Amino acid sequence: QFVESGGGLVQPGGSLRLSCAASGSIFGRDAMGWYRRAPGNPRQLVARISSGGAPYYVDSVKGRFTISRDSAKNTVYLQMNSLKPEDTAVYYCNTYPLGGRSWGQGTQVTVSS
């Protein structure tokens, strides 16, 4: 139901744009979130966007990350700028709040020099 892409290896200060394709039955009515799981840590919300396009960011990414959605493509994006080593994680998308939908495979983001 969710297919994430766009991760990779980037140097500190670099940028990446993540994409998440969701099935139309989910995308149209639900708020969507980007989550991440760093090694040794639980999966945590990074940003979310309402069905109407209102964004929310956790403090650690505010001003650096931008979440957006394209309803025509059933896709949600996460533009990540000024990346830091602590942003290293596997990134996932899902509904917000979580509603029992299966997780996708995620996309690995590694920030390292």
Angle at 31 between CA 105 and CA 83, to 5 degrees: 55
pLDDT of residue 46: 98
Q: Are the C-beta atoms of residues 111 and 36 closer than 8 Å to each other?
A: no
Give the per-residue pLDDT at 27.
Answer: 66
Ordered mean pLDDT values, 10 residues apiece, the chain (113 residues): 96 98 76 95 96 95 96 93 98 93 96 97
Identity at 20, one-letter amino acid code: C
User: Which position has the token pair 């990346």?
Assistant: 83
For residue 99, what pLDDT is reported? 87
